[in-house]
Amino acid sequence: MALSQQRVKEIHKLVIPTPFMVGPVNLYLIEGDALTLIDAGPKTDEARESLIQQLKELGIQPSDIDQVILTHHHMDHVGLLDYLREVSSFKLLGHPRNQSWISQDKAFYDHHEQFFMGLYRSLGVPEKYLDAIPRLKQQIFRYSCSTSLDLELREGDTVPGLPGWRVIETPGHARSHISLYRETDGLMIGGDHIIGHISSNALTEPPDPNMGDVERPLSLLMYRESLKRCQTFEISKVLAGHGEEVTGVHDLIETRLQKQMERAQLMKSWIESESMTCFDICCRLFPKVYQQQLALTMSETLGHLDLLVDMGEARIEEKDGVYYYHGAK
Ligand SMILES: [Zn+2]
């Protein structure tokens, strides 16, 4: 449906509650040639009611939505797709790497669990903490969705129904992550790639056999590359997946890159005096939260170890199936 000229280009921010530590998630409703919703919130009653109410205040029914574009596959961004599928015949667009996650593909999630069990053991996580892995899977199944993409978006694609916007692949926080960029005014819809008030985690993910992967993706290295790529665009403002819109993006990216390097150097100073497992380092970095937030804190630690190894500043020795990190010298 073509909307009247004055409504074109309007972007509405919808703030949707989540049960997660990150707090509310931002969806964006764009009145382009197609009425487009960016991301969909978690699968909870509160989130659904909040979405319906905020749409209503704009004079919009959920069934009016022509398309939903996913920035990435995380449960706080996709769960309400199941509800929207019931009430609307929208098209779902996103990077093909969303598919294994959003379809609750059993083989993929079995592989996911096996992968993390093996990885965590090799990183020195004690057996008593490994039940965090099936719990995470249960959480994803509860708050995420079970659906499929209708159209795949990749690097450089124009966005159907949104003239002037194009797709930039920004993997790292999630490997499925894309951002949308409008060259005319430098506006970016950034999902969780760039958030103002918190640094985005580069989460550890399993290789996706459905995408032909064999090796574990090095999430933090990917994330840093995606940040550096964004430095090559004129970005006036980022509409982020959480919190306020972000200005001063180029300075913020410099700060983020610098903080990562500082954290890596701190870890390097530790492993230069004694060999440590990733779990040992995780406990020292996050003594208060590692038990409750094992996946997040281990991702953060492993990512920075990957960075040190990549820079030739750390090396790994395996002993009885466990990796020990040492300084390079
Ligand atoms: Zn996310």
pLDDT at 246 over 60: yes
249-273 and 294-310 helices, crossing angle to 10° = 80
**Same domain as 223, residue 186:** yes
| Ligand 1 center from residue 168 Cα (angstroms) | 16
Structure-block tokens of residue 260: 């990562």
- Given 247, 280, 299, which residue is the final one in a domain? 247
Per DSSP, the three-state class of 36 is strand
- The CA 78 to ligand 1 mean position distance, Å, reads 10
Tell me, yes or no, whether 60 and 165 share the same domain. Answer: yes
Widest pairwise Cα distance in the chain: 67
Same domain? For 207 and 91 the reply is: yes
Residue 173 CA, ligand 1 centroid: distance in Å: 6
Q: Are residues 207 and 94 in the same domain?
A: yes
pTM summary value: 0.95
What distance in Å separates the CA atoms of residue 268 and residue 270, rounded to the nearest whole number? 5
**Bridge-based pairing state of the strands 178-182 and 162-169:** antiparallel
Q: What's the confidence (pLDDT) of residue 329?
A: 73
Is there a single domain that holds both residue 181 and residue 299?
no
Nearest to 220 by CA among 236, 240, 204: 204
Predicted local confidence at residue 6, as pLDDT: 42
Q: Provide the mean pLDDT of the chain.
A: 95
Is the pLDDT at 161 greater than 70? The verdict is yes
Distance from Cα 222 to the centre of ligand 1, integer Å: 15
> What CATH number is associated with residue 294?
1.10.10
Q: Could you tell me which residues come within 8 angstroms of residue 45 by beta carbon, excluding any fewer than 6 positions away? A: none
The answer, yes or no, to whether residue 146 has pLDDT greater than 80, is yes
Chain center to CA of 293: 16
- How many other CB atoms are found less than 10 A from the CB of residue 167? 20
- Does residue 237 share a domain with residue 310? no
Tens-digit pLDDT profile for residues 124-136: 999 999 999 999 8
Whether 315 shows a pLDDT value over 50: the answer reads yes
pLDDT at 93: 98
Cα–ligand 1 centroid distance for 317 (angstroms): 32
CA of 20 to the centre of ligand 1 (A): 11
Residues 193 and 273 in one domain: no
* DSSP SS3 for 138: helix
Q: How far is the CA of 98 from the centre of ligand 1 (A)?
A: 12
Give Cα separations from 73 to 129, 222, 238, 259 (angstroms).
25, 17, 19, 26
Residue 131 makes CB contacts below 8 A (sequence gap 6+) with none
User: What pLDDT shows up at residue 2?
Assistant: 44
* C-alpha 174 – ligand 1 centre gap (Å): 7
Residues in contact with 257: Cβ distance below 8 Å, sequence separation at least 6, in sequence order: 224, 227, 228
Question: Per-residue pLDDT averaged across 209-225, rounded?
Answer: 96
Q: Give 7's pLDDT tier (boundaries 50, 70, 90).
A: very low
Which amino acid type is present at position 61? Q
Mean predicted confidence (pLDDT) in 295-322: 97
CA of 177 to the centre of ligand 1 (A): 9
Asked whether residue 198 falls in the same domain as residue 304, the answer is: no
Q: What is the Å distance from ligand 1's center to 18 Cα?
A: 12
Q: Name the band, by pLDDT with cuts 50, 70 and 90, for residue 264.
A: very high
Interval 291-305 mean pLDDT:
96
Phi, psi of 325, rounded to the nearest 5 degrees: -100, 135
Domain co-membership, 238 together with 270 = no
* 25 CA distance to ligand 1 middle (Å): 9
Please report whether residue 129 resides in a domain: no
Percent of the chain with pLDDT over 90: 95
Location of structure tokens 């990190």 = 325
Tens of pLDDT, residue by residue over 62-89, are: 999 999 999 999 999 999 999 999 999 9
Q: What 3-state class would DSSP assign to 130?
A: coil
| The pLDDT value given to residue 9 | 59
C-alpha of residue 248 to centroid of ligand 1, in Å: 22
Residue 3 reports pLDDT greater than 70: no
Q: What would the mean pLDDT of 230-257 be, rounded to a whole number?
A: 97
CA 316 – CA 303 distance, rounded (Å): 14
Element (H, E) at 57: helix 45-57
- 72 CA → ligand 1 middle, Å: 7
pLDDT given for residue 8 in this prediction: 44
Burial 50-68, CB ≥16 within 10 A → b, else e: bbbebbeeeebebeebbbb
Higher pLDDT, 2 or 274: 274
For residue 241, the CA-to-ligand 1 centroid distance in Å is 8
281, 318: one domain: yes
Encode pLDDT of 274-292 as tens digits: 999 999 999 999 999 999 9
Question: Cα(6) to centroid of ligand 1, in Å?
Answer: 33
